[in-house]
Amino acid sequence: MISNSQDHALIERCKSGDRQSLEKLVGLYEKPVYNAAYRILGNLDDAADITQAVFLKVFEHLGQYDPKYKLFSWIYRIAVNESINQLKRGKRQQTFSDNEVAATDNPEAELAAGDLSREIQIGLMGLKEDYRTVIVLRHFSDCSYAQISEILQIPEKTVKSRLYSARQLMKETLQARGVH
């Protein structure tokens, strides 16, 4: 994440059509957006589609960017909204991919990690969207309460409440599936 003044300068250069700045902005946020979308959607193909859609929206609306918000918050907000819209469209959701676990030299560990990862994604997909989103932003995007509050435009108190409930549900789901 970069500072507000750097954000602003980057946005201004992008608005002027500077290709290097476009590349920098996309390079900075492509992976975080892709990962957040993947965890919300549970599907790598959808995550790629959404990542593209997010950046198209970002650049379409650069002129509407409000500098009082951090750039990453604005981009994440678009990513979350696009992902939720995608869920509502019901495309390819909840088809968890086996390709997500990084290859290792230890096939047994890889299998175990894959199983675990799959179980966790199943647990995530079992949560309602509000809960899943806060879990994703907190644990996969490493956002603080304040950042989640800014991204979702809800009070911090609500962020905490959703997060606690989501964790409790996740814990119960995973325990019920034998993951401890």
Partner 1 sequence: MLEERTIHLINTDIDGELTAAEREELDVILESSSEAREMRVELLRLSNLLDSLPEQSPPPALLKQILNKLAPSSRASNFSLSGLFASFQPATAGMTFAAGLLLTVGFYELSPNGQSSSDTASMVGTMVASQPGSQDLLKNDVRLKGDGFSGTVSLRNKDGVYILNFDLDSSDMTEIKVGLDRTGLSFGGFAETVSDADKVFESVTISGGTLRVVNQGRQQFAVFLRVNSPEQAIDAGSVTIDFPRDGDRLYGGVPES
Pick between residue 17 and residue 90 the one whose CB is nearest to partner 1. 17
The least CB distance from residue 133 to partner 1, in Å, is 14
DSSP 177: T
Q: How far is CA 50 from CA 63, 80, 83, 94, in A?
A: 21, 9, 6, 15
The least CB distance from residue 116 to partner 1, in Å, is 7
User: Looking at 26, 28, 122, 154, which residue binds partner 1 (CB under 8 A)?
Assistant: 26
The least CB distance from residue 74 to partner 1, in Å, is 15
Task: Give yes or no for residue 69 binding partner 1 (CB under 8 A).
Answer: no
CB 121 within 8 A of CB 39: yes
Give the number of other Cβ atoms within 10 Å of residue 118's Cβ.
Answer: 16
Region 107-146 residues binding partner 1, contact defined as CB under 8 A: 113, 116-117, 120, 135, 138-140, 144-145
Task: Give yes or no for residue 92 binding partner 1 (CB under 8 A).
Answer: no
CB contact set of 7 (below 8 Å; sequence gap of 6+): 67, 70, 71, 72
Pick between residue 35 and residue 81 the one whose CB is nearest to partner 1. 35
CB 48 within 8 A of CB 92: no
CB 42 within 8 A of CB 96: yes
Q: Residue ranges of the alpha helices (H) in the chain?
A: 4-15, 19-41, 44-60, 71-89, 107-125, 129-135, 145-152, 156-176
Region 27-56 residues binding partner 1, contact defined as CB under 8 A: 27, 30-31, 34-35, 38, 44, 47-48, 51-52, 55-56
Task: Give yes or no for residue 79 binding partner 1 (CB under 8 A).
Answer: no
Binding interface with partner 1 (CB under 8 A): 17, 19, 22-23, 26-27, 30-31, 34-35, 38, 44, 47-48, 51-52, 55-56, 59-63, 100-102, 113, 116-117, 120, 135, 138-140, 144-145, 160, 163-164, 167, 170-171, 174, 179-180
